[in-house]
Structure 1
């Protein structure tokens, strides 16, 4: 156990770029104590170990876990960026996936993963990718019109989706898949518009369909930049056709006169709308984006940030996060499959708040919604 804790302390400390002295200060121990812990000379007591976990931004279990188990059996991952230098994030992802999978197993519900259809380049495959997007829409029962809430639609067929605030610049999402336990998508919601979150979800579904044979056992990216660029182009093309179907767009072009009206109608970002219009040969993306930015600056006197959505923008209040996960927690709790303490942890509530919510649900006889 000394060796396991020693390795984990060192890895998580370096993941935060902390010196031994800095970690010692955060944990209220001496630098020599940290040195001894990391060299497996002494073992921290339970109180110190818990303090170290908090200081390192991980759970106590993460410090006790063998490094060889930092990947879930049967699950393979697809991440746009390498996270081997961010072990705290890798541990967080594994915990989220472990918890979600355990909940599904506890309540005995079936899992889901989209059918895999390998495709590694966009050129020459545009029509095929668009057709697969249409087929996936039919799997969701959406028809060809605007999608009201893609999060809800994919959760209803069993896709594991979690939206979390991840404070990693440039990170939008990742996906994982297991033949036995289904597919999982993590979407970053930290200061990211709903429109961009929806695109990330659609994009990762594209990767699950077209690139699942390339997923890895951990969160480390492999392959050349050219290969990654080709995979991204395929996933982007799929996402654009999933969010805005060809048939509906052709009809809409007879009704709406500009990009803002189109984006509001289809409930997507203006950049997503420009992408689809360029695919149809209606405009050149680079020229259109410059025109929009110029008009925005003329009207506001400010530059249009890349992360900002042009109004009307979708409201986060209309897209409650993690509804399927939350329902599974309450179901597992009501069936006695998880404790109140565990349920409160999963829902990020205090035990008192959890008990109050259960009490209110019983008073109004709405246990069924949980």
Structure 2
């Protein structure tokens, strides 16, 4: 495990073995670093500290014992994301997962049963069947047809770990299966803190789709477009949208689309696509929109939902933070450890332990 962590940290820093060897104090050879990464040799304590400083990572990261490997990583990135970007993202995720899994162990929490097992399918006949599957999931989870206040809270309630992190600019998020050194494997979805809430909600619904529809079983239905279709149907149920927008519209004003995107917490482009999918707008009307006034919507969000506004106020992971405060309240961890896990100053944690005091 140490060798994997060292290799990842070196790639994150964009260094060759020789370049890293030249930075480390006390000095080591590139050959020694090669042996460290192959787990053929362990560095001395002084060299270990030097490696951490040279790479800008903690010893907890290099020696962490919770995460064995990130498997089946699915990236949400643009075409310019580099190998260094991916290494940076993976190392950030591992650091956060080490704390997340550690706090679960401290509280003796065990993974829940697969919440998707009864709903999962590996074949869908057509796009209408995808919409029907989205309705099935809402019905099974008793969600009704109203907009979902928080996709993050929903997925956390269903046993998925959702992490928000400062990922490299060119990576919007990732999902992966996590193999642990000890204990049952788990799954994690990671979203970038810099991604707007409209895209964040859609990405989370897209990840849900992957856990419900493992394969389309249909050559006419490509997998990723099918996941998009499920995400749109799950976030924007046909019945509710028809009540809001009416049926078989000849056209729609810009301000109506802006209102609808805020009603459901999705991007304007996703809203326009969904209006076409349920035949409120014709295919030709949607195509015309993307060629004219909506031409830039896939690149730049019009009238974005601001931080702390509407859905943005609720679309935040909360489970990990709740677990840390619970462990602190039960005196299972120290305030210093809680501050490190939460990324807060110790003074803030101590203030929140005792509550406000009269001046």
TM-score, structure 2 length as denominator? 0.75
Aligned to 1:220: none
State the shift of 1:323 in Å.
1.4
CA contact (8 A) 1:112 1:182 kept: no
State the shift of 1:270 in Å.
0.4
CA contact (8 A) 1:163 1:186 kept: yes
**Structure 1 counterpart SS, 2:316:** coil
Aligned to 1:50: 49
The reply to whether residue 208 of structure 1 matches residue 208 of structure 2 is no
Quick one: distance in 2 between partners of 1:154 and 1:170? Answer: 21
CA contact (8 A) 1:163 1:321 kept: yes
State the shift of 1:349 in Å.
1.6
Quick one: distance in 1 between partners of 2:105 and 2:3? Answer: 33
Structure 1 stretch 283-292 or stretch 39-48: which is displaced more? Answer: 39-48
Quick one: distance in 1 between partners of 2:94 and 2:274? Answer: 35
State the shift of 1:120 in Å.
5.5
Distance 1:196 1:272, change over 3 A: same
Which whole-Å deviations, capped at 9, do the CAs of 1:116-172 have from their partners, x for residues lacking one?
4555576x3323322222233245443102222222333344432211121151443
State the shift of 1:206 in Å.
0.9
State the shift of 1:93 in Å.
2.7
Structure 1 stretch 50-59 or stretch 113-122: which is displaced more? Answer: 113-122
Q: Please, which runs of 5 or more residues in structure 1 have no aligned partner?
A: 213-225, 295-303, 365-370
State the shift of 1:208 in Å.
1.5
Which whole-Å deviations, capped at 9, do the CAs of 1:50-100 have from their partners, x for residues lacking one?
34224434432443469xx7327xxx6451379987445334334433433
Aligned to 1:245: 237
CA contact (8 A) 1:240 1:276 kept: yes
Quick one: distance in 2 between partners of 1:159 and 1:12? Answer: 26
Aligned to 2:128: 127
Aligned to 1:254: 246
Structure 1 stretch 37-46 or stretch 307-316: which is displaced more? Answer: 37-46
The reply to whether residue 13 of structure 1 matches residue 10 of structure 2 is yes
Aligned to 1:93: 93
Which whole-Å deviations, capped at 9, do the CAs of 1:32-67 have from their partners, x for residues lacking one?
54543434598644354234224434432443469x
Distance 1:120 1:230, change over 3 A: farther
Distance 1:307 1:8, change over 3 A: same
Aligned to 1:199: 202
Quick one: distance in 1 between partners of 2:7 and 2:101? Answer: 29
Aligned to 2:107: 107
Q: How is 1:220-239 mapped onto 2 (pairs within 5 angstroms)?
A: 230-239=222-231
State the shift of 1:28 in Å.
4.9
State the shift of 1:305 in Å.
6.9
The reply to whether residue 329 of structure 1 matches residue 330 of structure 2 is no
CA contact (8 A) 1:106 1:332 kept: yes
The reply to whether residue 165 of structure 1 matches residue 166 of structure 2 is yes
From 299, 303, 312, the counterpart of 1:311: 303
Greater helix content: 1
Structure 1 stretch 256-265 or stretch 230-239: which is displaced more? Answer: 256-265
State the shift of 1:20 in Å.
4.2
How many residues are matched?
A: 331
Which whole-Å deviations, capped at 9, do the CAs of 1:305-356 have from their partners, x for residues lacking one?
7453211525346136321211111001212333333322220123333222
Quick one: distance in 1 between partners of 2:186 and 2:140? Answer: 16
CA contact (8 A) 1:121 1:233 kept: no
Q: Please, which runs of 5 or more residues in structure 2 have no aligned partner?
A: none
**Structure 2 counterpart SS, 1:162:** strand
Distance 1:253 1:159, change over 3 A: same
From 333, 336, 357, the counterpart of 1:338: 333
CA contact (8 A) 1:173 1:200 kept: no
